[in-house]
Amino acid sequence: MCGIVGGICQNNITPILIDGLKRLEYRGYDSAGLVVLTSDNVLQRTRATGRVANLENILNLQEINGTTGIAHTRWATHGEPSTKNAHPHICNNNIGVVHNGIIENFLQLKSQQQAQGYRFSSDTDTEVIAHSIHQALKECNTLLEAVQKAITDFQGAYSVGVISPTYPKHIVVARSGSPLVIGLSDKGNFIASDQLALINITKQFIFLKEGDTADITEDSVDIFDKNGVKVEREVKTSKLQNGQIAKGNYAHYMQKEIFEQPQAISNTLESRVTKDKVLVSAFGHKAKDLFSKVKHVQIIACGTSYNAGLVAKYWIEDIAKIPTHVEVASEYRYRNPVILDDTLFVSISQSGETADTLEALRAVKKRNKNIQSLVICNSAESSLIRESKLSFLTYAGPEIGVASTKAFTTQLVSLALLCVALGKCHKQVSKQQEKAIVDGLNHLPGLVAKTLNQENQIIALAKTFEDKYNALFLGRGSMHAIAMEGALKLKEISYIHAEAYPAGELKHGPIALIDKNTPVIAIAPNNELLDKLKSNLQEVKSRGSQMIVFEDEASKVVPMQGMSVIPVTNNLGRITAPIIFTIPLQLLSYHVALIKGNDVDHPRNLAKSVTVE
């Protein structure tokens, strides 16, 4: 959600800013802009609605040169998507600001600033930041001091980058509730919301901590903590490779990431399992003692990660015999939940920066300082990783497409390992059972690769959705959560209204929606609920619906007129089945979106990482 890039370097900064913005497009945005401090010490700004390419086209006609600059991709929170609301924002030609996050008290600040004589040219909350820093600069000796003074008035979440002609060789940044990294290079120093923006420039990064501010020049970085005390932050070397964030021979990032799942799952399992065991120590050297004391599990997450948590609830209660609750983080953080003793608080997030999930964890830690917390995450340097006692990385690699694919399946693999680890520590999983689960997990990469070979068959099914605007997904047990994930994917990128229901709930309302224009997608694993599901399918078919059934080969669903039955694979267990049945649903959503002519990687109104409420 939104993206910041900036830097001070030896040569023209503009190409670096544009390249960085392109690398942040996956985060979701509606406009883009940059401001550069030119050689004659003037702030020169260009902004455009729509894609970064639109901004680049303007720059091809309007040359902007300078060695210091900041840039931004905006996702609208306050004020509609428009050029006037695009970042950067400038105050009196002396302060240029880019901002991620939300200033919750901006109306109060705006009223005060209007009384001071400041004029507003946008509808955004960000403009109050520029005016606040400009006002503070009247009383301060440096740009850093002005920023540190101004942010004391801000309520909400923000990461900001600031430049000024008064201090032409400096960029000042501040971070509170929204991530920001500093990239170090012999060609200069840079800032970004995400290291991906700078990976072609440097592999050396400083990840700012909550409340940090920093004064950055071409050859120095001075960092101060929330109390204004100068501190040293560790410089970390990124393991990301430039090729990891390129589409290669694929048409879209989403397609690439769907087909990367066999390798992503293999990477997630590596060094976490042997041929017959799950290594509990993979969750941390204290994990065994901690897990042995766990009596309850509370999972919080948002979106796709929430769906992963719902699957895990079935696994943990079934296999580890531990009561497990799953809740949407944005709801959990705003009520007063009963936190039982000996609860393991599990947060799940692809980015590790999801605002609601992070704040829910912080709220729980304030209420119970001894809470045992575990994060399952794809970003090693994220805020959730730093603030949890235990962490488990999914090793999915960079996921650029907004619609999560490989992050979801690697989360499921990670949660399966957690389930077995908890079961072992509570002596609920026998060696024979553990070996069977591990054997299934070790076969997963091959099973996923086999399932991906069905793409052509799914393309043919996708063509039947060209004129459809509604769809229902059905599943029972853990497959209801997979149906929810399938419906979410279809909604996100095809813009078809899709809902998921437990198949047994059909008679309680959803069956009223079924007609020939509403396709129904069902998941039919070969398990103890199969016969009941088959009865549900008969109920649906008798209402004249177009049906697609993804089945285990052993399920032997009998095809009927208007029903397509797609065997996915066979002999899947309760752990492997949800992961495998996810794959055809991803492919279906992807190809339906293509047929609809939608922007698959950048669906409207959505952001990859939701770092504001």
With contact defined as beta carbons under 8 Å apart, do 524 and 551 qualify?
yes
247-441: which CATH topology? Rossmann fold (3.40.50)
With contact defined as beta carbons under 8 Å apart, do 174 and 225 qualify?
no
pLDDT at 30: 83
pLDDT at 366: 86
How far apart CA 231 and CA 151 sit, in angstroms, is: 19
| Mean pLDDT of the 522-537 span | 72
Contacts of 369 (CB under 8 A, 6+ apart): none
Q: Give the whole-number percent of the chain exceeding pLDDT 70.
A: 93
| Mean pLDDT of the 91-117 span | 93
| Mean pLDDT of the 186-207 span | 92
pLDDT at 9: 95
For residue 205, pLDDT beyond 80: yes
pLDDT at 530: 67
Please report which confidence band the pLDDT of residue 336 belongs to, taking 50, 70 and 90 as the band edges. confident
Q: Is 565 helix (H, G, I), strand (E, B) or coil?
A: strand
Q: Give the whole-number percent of the chain exceeding pLDDT 90.
A: 61
For residue 597, pLDDT beyond 90: yes
> What is the CA 191 to chain-centroid distance, rounded?
20
Query: CA–CA distance from 265 to each of 96, 216, 443 (Å)?
Result: 44, 39, 10
pLDDT at 581: 93
Token output for 142: 């440096």
- The 10s digit of each residue's pLDDT in 167-182 is 999 999 999 877 899 9
With contact defined as beta carbons under 8 Å apart, do 200 and 183 qualify?
no
| Mean pLDDT of the 458-483 span | 91
The amino acid occupying position 534 is: K
Residue 609 backbone dihedrals phi, psi, to 5 degrees: -120, 115
366 or 486, which is more confident? 486
pLDDT mean across residues, the chain: 89
For residue 611, pLDDT beyond 60: no
pLDDT at 198: 93
Q: Would you tell me the crossing angle of helices 14-23 and 52-61 to the nearest 10 degrees? A: 160
> Longest C-alpha distance within the chain, in Å?
79
Please report which confidence band the pLDDT of residue 243 belongs to, taking 50, 70 and 90 as the band edges. low
- The 10s digit of each residue's pLDDT in 563-593 is 778 888 776 788 999 999 999 999 999 999 9
Token output for 226: 């929330």
pLDDT at 210: 86
How far apart CA 17 and CA 136 sit, in angstroms, is: 28
Q: Which of 313, 468, 541, 608 is catalytic?
A: 608
pLDDT at 36: 97
| Mean pLDDT of the 498-526 span | 79
- The 10s digit of each residue's pLDDT in 261-292 is 999 999 899 878 888 889 888 898 888 999 99
Please report which confidence band the pLDDT of residue 543 belongs to, taking 50, 70 and 90 as the band edges. low
For residue 531, pLDDT beyond 70: no
166-177 burial, b at 16+ Cβ within 10 Å, e below that, comes to: ebbebbbbbbbb
For residue 245, pLDDT beyond 70: no
Around 606, how many Cα atoms within 13 Å sit in the side-chain half-sphere?
21
For residue 340, pLDDT beyond 80: yes
pLDDT at 112: 95
Please report which confidence band the pLDDT of residue 386 belongs to, taking 50, 70 and 90 as the band edges. confident
pLDDT at 267: 86
| Mean pLDDT of the 462-466 span | 92
| Mean pLDDT of the 534-559 span | 72
With contact defined as beta carbons under 8 Å apart, do 588 and 473 qualify?
no
Catalytic annotation present for 419: no
Token output for 435: 């070996």
Q: Which of 89-98, 460-469, 512-521 has the lowest mean pLDDT?
A: 512-521
- The domains of the chain are located at 3-244, 247-441
| Mean pLDDT of the 323-340 span | 90
With contact defined as beta carbons under 8 Å apart, do 559 and 456 qualify?
no
Q: Which of 139-143, 330-334, 453-457 has the lowest mean pLDDT?
A: 330-334
- The 10s digit of each residue's pLDDT in 10-27 is 999 999 999 999 888 766
Scan for tokens 């060696």, then name that residue.
431
For residue 541, pLDDT beyond 80: no
Catalytic annotation present for 169: no
CATH level 2 (architecture), domain 3-244: 4-Layer Sandwich (3.60)
How far apart CA 15 and CA 2 sit, in angstroms, is: 19
For residue 126, pLDDT beyond 80: yes
Contacts of 224 (CB under 8 A, 6+ apart): 144, 148, 212, 213, 214, 230, 231
Q: Which of 2, 9, 302, 377 is catalytic?
A: 2
594 or 155, which is more confident? 594
